[in-house]
């Protein structure tokens, strides 16, 4: 019995080989070093525009189903818009695959990918955008004609070789020499095992197979378990309901389940808006609580009196952020240079800048240093950045006196455009 699959985020993976794959699939943003140039960005925009158009299309196609049947479609006359939403790989997955291919392209001499299951050809177009040599197989004639029409619209028909026929027939005629095979069709456990057995001999050294929908049915689940038992596939990785198979003599046996962490830009922007609103509400609530506390003791009837500000209420503020980078904890404390001009308490201010220059080993260390120097945490909020979760802390310290600062009147203050303010407030 093989070892159990271990659930990991891409950041926790030790094997450099799998770490590289995982960060391109799930890392997102700045952890991905691939040449996504303007040509690729333009092509992705075209593919996604076509996806939108097809998702509103009123076209139907008569399909010949060679797969394990559908859990959704009741007959063979199928609306294009439903195929788009149910059958095709989603944008995230296709985009991640393209990023991985772009990364591998810089590392390997041979770059040949076979997609088994073309459907409308949108994922094929992503694969072709990576610059790999792409071949795709589709059993249904009407479907492959529709895919060809789509590639014409996208201008990538020259870079895709498409064969129409049953997988089993085409496999028997094929010479192999594949670096990656994406098996995305005929989701039947036994058929999958048979295809993989043939594909084993058709992969180039260091080649990989990606099987879609390994959890789709009991049969597919059983097939995956059997593949995990096969000593040939000593490295495997489950990813978003798909399974990667690798035969790597240079690596020890390992079976991972890669956790989902990549956030698409659109979702990220929505989440960012939400966290900003959440942070504003938190700060408003905390300032209201502080105002209540600072009301005079006699004010028991809740009269709308303004709070009395004593000298103890003068505070200076800063910001602390904490996040993980390559598995290491990073803590940063920062203060705006305006502190130099508002603070009469020079000692407190110079200590603040000293505190911000330290490389902290952990969040606990930073909090202890802050606390021992008289700093408090006033508010905490979390944002989900492309690089992962970032914790933000609003920190403050009481000081004896402050000099008022008016940046809008101050001639030394730079405006947003990099020039000096004209001295008047708009
Ligand atoms: C899930 S779709 C492929 C989706 C496509 N890769 C994408 O993401 O855009 C599977 C396709 O494989 C085809 N297919 C299924 N079993 C097949 C078989 N045994 N031989 C040939 N084609 C098959 C189906 O007709 C269907 O169009």
Residue nearest to atom 21 of ligand 1 (CA): 139
Q: Are residues 121 and 236 in the same domain?
A: yes
421 within some domain: no
Same domain for 116 and 237, yes or no, is yes
196 within a domain of the structure (yes/no): yes
The span from the CA of 84 to the CA of 382, in Å, is 35
Domain count, the chain: 2
Is the CB–ligand 1 distance for residue 113 below 6 Å? no
Residue 303 has pLDDT above 70, yes or no: no
CA 67–ligand 1 middle distance (angstroms): 7
121: in domain: yes
pLDDT attached to residue 310: 42
Atom of ligand 1 nearest to the CA of 121: 9
pLDDT digits (tens, 9 = 90+) for 47-70: 999 999 999 999 999 999 876 666
Residues 329 and 386 in one domain: yes
> Is ligand 1 within 6 A of the CB of residue 167?
yes
> From CA 263, how far away is CA 96, in angstroms rounded?
11
Dist. CA 114 → ligand 1 center (Å)? 12
Residue 83 forms part of a structural domain: yes
In ligand 1, the atom with minimum distance to the C-alpha of 115 is: 6
Domain that holds residue 156: 6-258
User: Residue by residue, what is the 3-state secondary structure of 100-156?
Assistant: HHHHHHCCCCCCEEEEECCCCCHHHHHHHHCCCEEEEEECCHHHHHHHHHHHHHHCC
Q: Is the CB of 119 under 6 A from ligand 1?
A: yes
- The CATH number assigned to the domain holding 244 equals 3.40.50.150
Task: Enter the tokens of residue 250.
Answer: 């240079």
Q: Which of 258, 285, 319 is the last residue of a domain?
A: 258
Domain assignment of residue 416, yes or no: no
Structure tokens at 133: 């040599």
Check pLDDT > 70 for residue 132: yes
The pLDDT score that the predictor gives to residue 286 is 54
- Between 390 and 102, the more confident residue is 102
Mean pLDDT of 207-234: 96
Residue 343 inside a domain? The answer is: yes
CB 348 within 8 A of CB 397: yes
Regarding whether 271 and 237 lie in a shared domain, the answer is no
173 & 251 share domain = yes
My answer on whether 247 and 275 are in the same domain is no
Examine the pLDDT at 272 and tell me if it is beyond 60: no
Instruction: Say how many C-beta atoms besides its own lie within 10 A of residue 124's C-beta.
Output: 31
pLDDT at 285: 57
Identify whether residues 156 and 271 lie together within a single domain.
Answer: no
pTM above 0.75, yes or no: no
Same domain assignment for residues 123 and 243: yes
Q: What is the predicted pLDDT for the residue at 182?
A: 98
Report whether residue 186 contacts ligand 1, using a CB cutoff of 6 Å: yes
Which of the pair, 33 or 54, is modelled with greater confidence?
54
Tell me whether residue 412 is in a domain: no
Instruction: Give the integer Cα–Cα distance in Å for 347 and 349.
Output: 5
Tell me which of 50, 62, 66, 198 to substitute to probe ligand 1's pocket, judged by most ligand atoms within 8 Å of the beta carbon. Answer: 66
pLDDT band at 305 (very low <50, low <70, confident <90, very high): very low
Instruction: Give pLDDT, residue 2.
Output: 55
**Same-domain pairing of 209 and 269:** no
Q: What angle do CA 137, 138, 141 make, to 5 degrees?
A: 140
Residue 116 CA to ligand 1 center (angstroms) comes to 6
pLDDT of residue 263: 63
Residue 201 lies in a domain: yes
Separation of 413 CA from ligand 1 center, angstroms?
62
Supply the DSSP symbol for 246: E
Give the residue whose CA is nearest to atom 11 of ligand 1. Answer: 117
Q: 3-state SS string over 23-47? A: HHHHHCHHHCCCCCCHHHHHHHHHH
CA of 87 to the centre of ligand 1 (A): 9
- pLDDT tens per residue across span 184-219: 999 999 999 999 999 999 999 999 999 999 999 999
Give the percent of the chain with pLDDT over 70. Answer: 79
d(C-alpha 178, C-alpha 110), whole Å: 9
Residues 220 and 273 in one domain: no
Residues 236, 378: one domain?
Answer: no
**Claim to verify: residue 77 and residue 193 sit in the same structural domain:** yes
Q: What's the pLDDT band for 183 if we cut at 50, 70, 90?
A: very high
Residue 158 has what DSSP assignment?
G
pLDDT at 160: 98
Ligand 1: residue of 65, 117, 182 to mutate (most ligand atoms within 8 A of CB) is 117
């Amino acid at each position: 019995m093989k070892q159990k699959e271990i659930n990991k985020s891409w950041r926790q993976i030790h094997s450099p080989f799998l770490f590289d794959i995982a960060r391109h699939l799930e890392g997102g943003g700045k952890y991905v070093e691939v040449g996504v140039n303007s040509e690729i960005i333009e092509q992705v925009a075209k593919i996604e525009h076509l996806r939108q158009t097809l998702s509103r299309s009123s076209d139907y196609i008569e399909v010949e189903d060679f797969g394990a049947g559908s859990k959704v479609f009741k007959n063979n006359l199928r609306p294009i818009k439903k195929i788009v939403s149910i059958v095709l790989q989603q944008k995230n997955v296709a985009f991640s695959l393209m990023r991985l291919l772009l990364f591998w392209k810089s590392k390997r001499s041979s770059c040949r990918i076979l997609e088994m299951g073309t459907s409308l050809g949108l994922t094929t177009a992503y694969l072709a955008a990576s610059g790999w040599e792409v071949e795709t197989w589709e059993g249904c004639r009407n479907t492959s004609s529709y895919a060809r029409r789509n590639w014409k619209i996208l201008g990538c028909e020259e870079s895709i070789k498409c064969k129409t026929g049953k997988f089993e027939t085409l496999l028997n005629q094929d010479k192999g020499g594949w670096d990656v095979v994406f098996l995305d069709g005929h989701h039947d456990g036994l058929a999958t095992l048979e295809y993989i057995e043939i594909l084993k001999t058709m992969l180039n050294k260091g080649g990989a197979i990606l099987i879609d929908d390994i959890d789709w049915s009991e049969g597919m689940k059983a097939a995956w378990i059997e593949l995990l038992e096969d000593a040939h596939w000593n490295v495997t990785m489950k990813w978003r309901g798909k399974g990667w198979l690798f035969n790597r003599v240079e690596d020890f046996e390992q079976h991972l389940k890669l956790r989902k962490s990549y956030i698409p830009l659109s979702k990220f922007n929505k989440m960012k808006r939400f966290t900003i609103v959440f942070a504003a509400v938190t700060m408003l609530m905390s300032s209201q609580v502080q105002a209540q506390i600072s009301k005079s003791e006699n004010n028991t009837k809740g009269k709308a009196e303004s709070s009395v500000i004593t000298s103890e209420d003068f505070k200076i503020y800063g910001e602390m952020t904490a996040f993980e980078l390559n598995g290491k904890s990073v803590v940063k404390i920062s203060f705006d240079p305006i502190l130099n001009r508002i603070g009469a308490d020079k000692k407190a201010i110079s200590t603040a800048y000293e505190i911000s220059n330290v490389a902290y080993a952990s969040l606990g260390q930073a909090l202890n240093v802050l606390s021992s120097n008289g700093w408090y945490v006033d508010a905490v909020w979390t944002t989900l950045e492309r690089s992962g979760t970032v914790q933000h802390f609003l920190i403050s310290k009481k000081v004896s006196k402050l000099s008022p600062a008016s940046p809008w009147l101050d001639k030394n203050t730079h405006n947003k455009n990099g020039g000096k303010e004209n001295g008047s407030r708009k």
